[in-house]
């Protein structure tokens, strides 16, 4: 097709002329329409649907405040701690930018955890949104990396020893472990070399990937369309123009919604930034106001709160617990053989994998398996679309007792998180072990529990009550 430019009257507004010049050269209007003004979202969204755009808002806050922090921060083991205090005192508004960034880190996880919970409740990961979910899991992994690398930068005691503990975990991997952790640190202990590479990852590598993944997440979502609290595909009922009957343009209807949500979020966010930026030691750990000292190990090293559920699973994996885990694996393989409709060869593969895992558990020590379980506890999220076989997507039309299973899972997750902030005792470890079983049981038994019970009829159209 030949290049075509529409003819506008000479007295047309300047903005129209500009757009008329741009559009044949770049799909500006088309992109705006496809993703904003003519993207039809279900009209029955509730407050749970605000956390996606809030996550985007926090991402912007983190990037903008991060840019200003990098202007004054020094990624040097001798200067880093003092440069943060310099930002807090001598840089005009530095304290505000720094508190926004440190509070933003925790806010990011709160918003993302709620965003993920929304997906869990309404089955937003189910077909055809598997890729939306997988991009989301990748974003979550990046976020964890971003938070981990960033936490070293203030170079306080917790920064230092937290990084030391986590990098040492890689040392538990058989054969390559010690060399691997040495390679990650770039030194025999966490040092200036480690600080420099973590700085590089934190400000360049991970943010680049993160932004790319966010774009992919949204593009994939807009390709298949948004899910909704009823778990109904609105694209199945359209008018003669192909517009979903239960759809509504994202702009202005959801932009005004999200602006309101942003206002509520910013009120909570500002309350923390201005009146309690340490958040009782959870957002800024007290020990991190002591400069890093490689010769003084703090008596209690706890990761920041958003990592503690997974850290708890790691710590729960003691050598006594290994026998329970082996029994769990054996029981799971038996369950697959007896109660699944998988093909014989698939069952055999599952049996062999189970056997290898059990032998591995006898051969390698508990520390290694703790690391494996911690990794699997995050990665297992990626399997959700294929584990869930409920006939209804949304929790609204599932059997009532499913709600208690979600509640049990949620409580186990929170208890794990809480225990991860405390030093371990025998009693706490036992509780964490019970919760670890609940956590993995929720996912691994999902193919069975998710399809049992009496489901409620799913309506044809979404439930919507005019405001």
Q: Are the beta carbons of 118 and 45 closer than 8 angstroms?
A: no
Residue (59 or 435) nearer to another protein, CB: 435
Name the β-bridge partners of 291.
156
Angle of helix 130-152 relative to helix 206-224, nearest 10 degrees? 160
Q: How far is the CB of 402 from another protein (least distance, A)?
A: 11
Residue (136 or 399) nearer to another protein, CB: 399
Q: How far is the CB of 95 from another protein (least distance, A)?
A: 4
Q: How far is the CB of 289 from another protein (least distance, A)?
A: 4
Residue (178 or 453) nearer to another protein, CB: 453
Residue (88 or 205) nearer to another protein, CB: 88
**Backbone φ/ψ region at 378: left (φ over 0), alpha (ψ -120 to 50), beta:** alpha
Q: How far is the CB of 280 from another protein (least distance, A)?
A: 9
Q: Are the beta carbons of 43 and 249 closer than 8 angstroms?
A: no
Residue (427 or 457) nearer to another protein, CB: 427
Q: How far is the CB of 340 from another protein (least distance, A)?
A: 23
At 156, is the secondary structure helix, strand, or coil?
Answer: strand
| Residue 196 main-chain phi, psi, to 5 deg | -65, -45
**Torsion angle of the four alpha carbons 235, 241, 243, 248, in this order, in degrees rounded to the nearest 10:** -170
| Residue 412 main-chain phi, psi, to 5 deg | -60, -40
Q: How far apart are CA 234 and CA 249, in angstroms?
A: 13
Stated as kind and residue range, the H or E segment containing 395 is none
Q: How far is the CB of 424 from another protein (least distance, A)?
A: 10
Selection from 225, 223, 50, 49 nearest residue 121 by Cα:
49
Binding stretches for another protein (CB under 8 A): 43, 82, 85-86, 88-90, 95-96, 99, 248, 252-253, 256-257, 259-260, 262-264, 266-267, 270-271, 273-275, 277-278, 281, 286-287, 289-291, 401, 404-405, 407-408, 411-412, 415, 418-419, 422, 425, 427-428, 431, 434-435, 438, 466-467
Residue (181 or 288) nearer to another protein, CB: 288
Residue (367 or 428) nearer to another protein, CB: 428
Q: How far is the CB of 428 from another protein (least distance, A)?
A: 5
At 55, is the secondary structure helix, strand, or coil?
Answer: helix
């Amino acid at each position: 097709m030949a290049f075509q430019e529409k003819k506008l009257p000479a007295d047309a507004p300047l903005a129209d002329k500009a757009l008329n010049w741009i559009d044949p050269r770049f799909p500006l209007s088309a992109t705006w329409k496809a993703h904003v003004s003519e993207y039809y979202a279900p009209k029955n969204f509730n407050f749970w649907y605000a956390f996606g755009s809030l996550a985007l808002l926090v991402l912007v806050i983190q990037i903008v405040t991060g840019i200003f922090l990098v202007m004054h921060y020094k990624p040097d083991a001798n200067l880093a701690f003092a440069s943060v205090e310099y930002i807090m005192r001598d840089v005009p508004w530095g304290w505000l930018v720094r508190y926004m960034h440190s509070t933003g880190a925790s806010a990011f996880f709160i918003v993302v955890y709620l965003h993920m919970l929304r997906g869990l409740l309404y089955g937003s990961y189910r077909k055809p949104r598997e890729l939306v979910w997988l991009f989301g899991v990748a974003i979550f992994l990046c976020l964890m990396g971003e938070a981990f690398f960033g936490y070293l930068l203030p170079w306080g005691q917790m920064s230092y020893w937290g990084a030391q503990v986590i990098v040492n975990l890689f040392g538990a991997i058989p054969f390559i472990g010690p060399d691997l952790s040495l390679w990650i640190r770039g030194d025999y202990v966490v040092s200036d070399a480690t600080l420099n590479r973590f700085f590089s990852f934190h400000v360049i590598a991970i943010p680049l990937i993160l932004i790319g993944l966010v774009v992919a997440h949204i593009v994939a979502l807009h390709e298949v369309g948004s899910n909704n609290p009823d778990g109904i595909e609105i694209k199945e009922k359209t008018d003669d123009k192909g517009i979903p009957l239960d759809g509504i343009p994202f702009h202005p209807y959801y932009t005004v919604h999200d602006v309101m949500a942003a206002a509520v979020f910013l009120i909570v966010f500002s309350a923390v930034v201005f009146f309690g930026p340490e958040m009782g030691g959870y957002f800024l750990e007290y020990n991190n106001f002591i400069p890093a000292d490689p010769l003084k190990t703090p008596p209690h090293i706890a990761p920041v709160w958003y990592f503690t559920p997974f850290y708890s699973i790691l710590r729960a994996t003691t050598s006594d617990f290994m026998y329970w885990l082996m029994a769990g694996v054996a029981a799971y393989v038996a369950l697959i053989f007896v109660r699944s409709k998988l093909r014989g060869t698939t069952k055999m593969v599952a049996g062999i994998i189970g056997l290898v895992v059990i032998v591995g558990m006898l051969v390698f020590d508990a520390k290694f398996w703790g690391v494996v379980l911690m990794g699997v506890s995050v990665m297992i999220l990626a399997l959700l679309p294929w584990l869930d076989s409920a006939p209804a997507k949304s929790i609204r039309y599932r059997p009532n007792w499913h709600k208690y299973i979600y509640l049990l899972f949620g409580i186990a997750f929170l208890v794990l998180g809480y225990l991860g902030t405390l030093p371990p005792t025998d009693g706490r470890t036992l509780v964490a072990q019970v919760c670890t079983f609940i956590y993995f049981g929720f996912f691994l038994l999902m193919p069975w529990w998710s399809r049992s019970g009496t489901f409620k009829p799913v309506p044809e159209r979404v439930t919507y009550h005019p405001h």
